[in-house]
Structures are given as structure tokens and as C-alpha cells.
Amino acid sequence: MVLEINFFGTRGSRPVSGGPFDYGRDTSCVGVRESTSSKWTILDLGSGLNNFAESLDGPVEADLLLSHYHFDHLQGLPFFYPMDRVGSKVRLFAPNIGGDPLGQLFSPPFFPVSPFAFRGEISKNYIETGATIELINGGIAEAFEVAHTDTEYGYRLSFGEVTICYVPDHQEPYGEMKLREDVFEMVKGCDLLIHDAQYNAIDFQSKAHWGHSTYDFAASLAELAEVKKLVLFHHDPSRSDDEISREVKSLKETHPKLEICAAHQGEILYI
């Protein structure tokens, strides 16, 4: 089995325009599939979800795994027009925080049309941390809670012996805070870790409590957890291509045994 990881959106907080932004303009959305399959697992539903939509020419069969309810991670959902095609089959999984937050958000006065009224076969599932999902494309997803400003789940995907961990927003420990043991255990030994790297050390001085990680923390966690490859993700909207490249170069010098890259929107990785 060869897995294909598609980076449809790589930016954090908000989309960006102008440029150049070769590392990406749209917010979080990552697609995973077996390379010969038409069935997808989609991690987060930011504005990058539209890039996934544009890659499809018919109905879609997919599981959509939402990490949390911040706008940059779900702003693509109401515009995901393949769900409005007869024959589409979509299951959406999201953290259970009580009530029906997706139903509330995508209804008047916040939004005029509910994506859950589209013509495809659509199910909405609120899950608890620790949930295990048998994915439509043959993999297994495990949800685990990640420290952030609000409830967030990371996901560990397993396809046979290949594992991918997705941790898009992660509060780096500071002060008396400690790394959650369950986060460490879930990412330990994975083949590919897609991890928040929104801040540099200077940013963190004034934004330590804003729910994100620095480049060095992401690399240190990956190295300690014996991750095979780290993909830096959720790029700050103010970060230029040159700045991201310099951070990657620096990390490769300080963590020479760790395979590191920064996610590029439109990039496809194979495992």
C-alpha cells in the first residue's frame, strides 16, 4: 500500500493573499488516501477544502475529521459543493462539546444555507476523545485530546503498518504547564507527524498562551517521540516564505537526525 498525503491548505488563523506565499495561502486541510483509491480521509475543513473540491469531477466519498471549531479549520465546509452532488457519501466527525455547534453555526443568522441539507448522503457525528473510527478508505483513526485554547482533537491514522499523526494547533507548555502524556503516546513512533509550528521564539514571548507551538518545540517533540518525519504546519499568516525556509534550515542544523520539512500547499507526499 502506498499512501498519498495531499496538502490542500497549510496556513493558520486566516487565508493570505498577495505574496509570494509558496508555502500556502489557504487554511488547514489535508487529504489522505491510498494512491489508487477514490475514497478520502480529510483532516480539517479550512479554506483549503475548496482546493480538494476542485480536484474532484464527480461525487465524493470521504470521511471529514474536524480537529476543533475555530473558523480557520471549518470555513471551507459550507462551500464544499461536491456534497451537493447526488451519489456523494460523506461522514463528518467532530469533537463532542455538547449541543449541535455545527448546526448552530451553519444556520441563520450566521450562515444562510446548511451544508447538511445538500443532496449527498451526509452524516454528522460528535465523538469523544479516545474514539476509534473505521475509515471509509480502509484505515483506522484514533481521536485524542490536544491542549489548545478550546477543545481540540488530534488524530492518529493507521493504514496497515503506516501511521500518520495530525496535530494542527497545539499549546506549547509554558510556566507550570506540562506536555499531555496522551499526546506524546499517540505521536510516538509515527511515520509522519503533521504538527503546528505557527510561532518562532520571538512570537512566543508575547503569545505563549495563544494555543500554538514554536518551530523548536515541534522538532523537539518529534525527536523525543522518535517520529520518522516531521512536517511543520499551520504557518502564521504573517510569515514569509524566506522566514519559513530559514526556520527549517535552522532546525535541520539543531536536529540533524530528524527528517524535517515545512508543508507546501499543493504538495503531495507518499509513504
* pLDDT higher than 90, residue 42: yes
Spatial contact of 103 and 117, defined as CB atoms under 8 Å apart: no
Chain mean pLDDT for the chain: 97
Angle at 228 between CA 264 and CA 195, to 5 degrees: 45
What is the structure's pLDDT at 128? Answer: 98
Residue whose C-alpha is closest to residue 10's, from 72, 60, 88, 79: 72
Q: pTM, whole model, 2 decimals?
A: 0.97
Architecture field, domain 3-270: 4-Layer Sandwich (3.60)
Residue whose C-alpha is closest to residue 56's, from 72, 39, 73, 44: 39
Q: What percent of the chain has pLDDT over 90?
A: 98
* pLDDT higher than 90, residue 145: yes
Rounded to an integer, the average pLDDT of 30-50 is 97
Residue whose C-alpha is closest to residue 1's, from 187, 202, 148, 159: 159
Residue 27 carries which DSSP code?
Answer: B
Q: Judge if the upstream peptide bond of residue 15 is cis by omega within 30 degrees of 0.
A: no
What is the structure's pLDDT at 1? Answer: 78
pLDDT band with cut points at 50, 70 and 90 for residue 104: very high
Rounded to an integer, the average pLDDT of 169-182 is 94
CA distances from 226 to 66, 194, 219, 231 (A): 26, 14, 10, 14
What is the structure's pLDDT at 93? Answer: 98
d(CA 138, CA 135): 5
What is the structure's pLDDT at 19? Answer: 83
Rounded to an integer, the average pLDDT of 245-252 is 98
d(CA 60, CA 69): 23
User: pLDDT by residue (tens digit) across 83-100?
Assistant: 999 999 999 999 999 999
User: pLDDT by residue (tens digit) across 147-175?
Assistant: 999 999 999 999 999 999 999 999 999 99
